[in-house]
């Protein structure tokens, strides 16, 4: 069984803080940035906001340095920012940030039970903080009665059009509801939708240990935990028995680089879809439905003209199309729309397949 020990968390830095340069409001910002550029780590002191100030100053400095709009220049900016911001450190004592006016972050105790005093990079700490807020406050999802509480390092939906498509389809689904499989369960939304619509049992998998540990903890021993069973594994994991419904909301973009676990929610390797369809063929009951959620994102951003589901239907020889539903993605805010014109034509897709 996987536990907290197996999940992905920021690595604590245990080295001494004695030789570190300190940063506070009184420090000379330019000098501090020069230190970062020469590879020397800097410790944030006094107030949490000093960390935010230094990050902002670093951004301003690097934007001036890499001021061009070209893709290459923008990438150079991002690379430099990533490299230098990692050198900004913050101190944790007794599982709490030692600076004043700092947020309290419950993960610090959960993730490092045996290490109470350590350093973390400021960007990682910010990641822990925002994830903690999402987790604590929960996220309202229009198709669910209860909020979801995404665990640190787990994918969760920020737009809901595809969930609405799936919900509308589930409303009209009149087949048996004994069991279903949710491949890549993430923070559990699709499984919770199926339970809401009367499925007695849902078997979920994920290759991200944080998703599995997080859902286990969230469900505890509630009624939900008897309806949703989990396995940490690829594709169908240990679930062999055929079911009447298989659902997969896969990554929507082709990978052009090596993936770490967080990327696996967004980018797919070429082999993912053929392997998924092959395994699904074995695990779908004769009259079962295979539902794949997808989008035209890869096509409209010109990442690839290939559509893995259309490709499967055209040449896989395993499944035929029952129906495909499409829905416009609700327009992003004006600010993001200006930067991303392609978003205007974004659509989410629900593909319903059955055995051919």
Ligand X SMILES: C[S@@+](CC[C@H](N)C(=O)[O-])C[C@H]1O[C@@H](n2cnc3c(N)ncnc32)[C@H](O)[C@@H]1O
Whose Cβ is closer to ligand X: residue 195's or residue 265's?
Answer: 265
What number of chain residues touch ligand X (CB under 6 A)? 20
Residues 181, 228, 265, 291: which binds ligand X (CB under 6 A)?
265
Contact with ligand X (CB under 6 A): which of 153, 209, 251, 316? 251
Q: How far apart (Å, rounded) are the C-alpha atoms in residues 191 and 180?
A: 8
Rounded to an integer, what distance in angstroms lies between the CA atom of residue 118 and that of residue 14?
5
Q: Which of 41, 51, 157, 214 binds ligand X (CB under 6 A)?
A: 157
Q: What is the C-alpha separation between 239 and 3, in angstroms, rounded?
A: 20
Q: What is the smallest separation between the CB atom of 189 and ligand X, expressed in angstroms?
A: 5
Candidate residues 92, 235, 329, 348; the one interacting with ligand X per rule CB under 6 A: 235
Q: How far is the CB of 134 from ligand X (least distance, A)?
A: 13
Task: Work out the end-to-end distance of the chain between its first and last CA atoms, rounded to an integer number of angstroms.
Answer: 37
Phi/psi of residue 122, nearest 5 degrees: -65, -45
In the numeric block, the tokens 């396995």 are attached to 231
Q: Which two tokens stand for residue 258?
A: 């090596």
Closest CB to ligand X among 171 and 341?
A: 171
Among 91, 161, 244, 264, binds ligand X (CB under 6 A): 264
Which residue number, 99 or 144, has a Cβ lying nearer to ligand X?
Answer: 144
User: Of 199, 163, 206, which Cα lies nearest the Cα of 183?
Assistant: 206
167 binds ligand X (CB under 6 A): no
Residue 189 in the binding site for ligand X (CB under 6 A): yes
Residue 215 found at the interface with ligand X (CB under 6 A): no
Cβ atoms 8, 15 nearer than 8 A: no
Q: Is 209 in the site for ligand X (CB under 6 A)?
A: no
The answer to whether residue 207 forms part of the interface with ligand X (CB under 6 A) is yes
Q: Which of 249, 269, 271 is nearest to 350 (CA)?
A: 249
Q: What are phi and psi of 167, to 5 degrees?
A: -65, -45
Tell me how far apart the 2 most distant CA atoms of the chain are, in Å: 71
From 44-52, 110-118, 199-207, 238-246, span contacting ligand X (CB under 6 A)? 199-207
Interface segment toward ligand X; rule CB under 6 A; list 3-11, 120-128, 177-185, 216-224: 177-185
List Cβ<8 Å contacts ≥24 apart for 81-84.
84/33, 84/36, 84/37, 84/58
Q: How far is the CB of 121 from ligand X (least distance, A)?
A: 24
Among 8, 53, 59, 234, interactor with ligand X by CB under 6 A = 234
Compute the distance between CA of residue 287 and CA of residue 279 in angstroms, rounded to an integer.
16
Q: Rule CB under 6 A: which residues touch ligand X? A: 155, 157, 183-186, 189-190, 205-208, 211, 234-235, 249, 251, 264-265, 272
């Amino acid at each position: 069984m996987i536990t907290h020990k197996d999940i992905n968390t920021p690595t604590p830095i245990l080295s001494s803080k004695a030789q570190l340069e300190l940063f506070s409001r009184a420090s000379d910002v330019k000098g501090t940035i020069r230190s970062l550029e020469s590879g020397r780590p800097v410790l944030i002191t006094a107030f949490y906001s000093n960390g935010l100030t230094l990050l902002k100053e670093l951004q301003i400095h690097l934007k001036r340095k890499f001021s061009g709009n070209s893709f290459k220049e923008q990438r150079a900016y991002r690379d430099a920012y990533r490299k230098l911001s990692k050198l900004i450190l913050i101190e944790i004592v007794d599982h709490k940030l030692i600076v004043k006016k700092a947020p309290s972050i419950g993960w610090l105790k959960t993730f490092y039970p045996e290490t109470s005093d350590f350093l973390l990079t400021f960007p990682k700490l910010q990641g822990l903080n925002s994830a903690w807020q999402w987790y604590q406050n929960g996220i309202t999802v229009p198709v669910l009665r209860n909020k979801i509480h995404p665990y640190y390092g787990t994918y969760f939906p920020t737009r809901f059009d595809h969930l609405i498509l799936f919900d509308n389809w589930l409303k009209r689904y009149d087949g048996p509801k004994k069991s279903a499989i949710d491949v890549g369960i993430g923070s559990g939304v699709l499984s919770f939708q199926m339970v809401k619509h009367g499925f007695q049992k849902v078997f979920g998998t994920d290759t991200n240990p944080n998703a599995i540990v997080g859902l286990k903890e969230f469900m505890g021993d509630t009624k939900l935990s008897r309806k949703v069973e989990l396995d940490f594994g690829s594709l169908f994991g240990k679930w062999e028995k055929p079911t009447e419904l298989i659902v997969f909301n896969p990554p929507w973009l082709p990978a052009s680089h090596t993936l770490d676990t967080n990327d696996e929610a967004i980018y797919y390797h070429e082999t993912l879809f053929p392997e998924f369809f092959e395994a699904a063929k074995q695990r779908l009951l004769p009259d079962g439905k295979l539902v794949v959620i997808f989008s035209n994102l890869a096509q409209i951003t010109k990442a690839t003209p290939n559509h893995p589901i259309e490709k499967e239907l055209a040449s896989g020889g395993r499944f035929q199309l029952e129906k495909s539903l499409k829905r416009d993605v609700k327009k992003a805010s004006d600010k993001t729309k200006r930067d991303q014109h392609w978003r205007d034509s974004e659509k989410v897709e629900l593909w319903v397949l059955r055995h051919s």
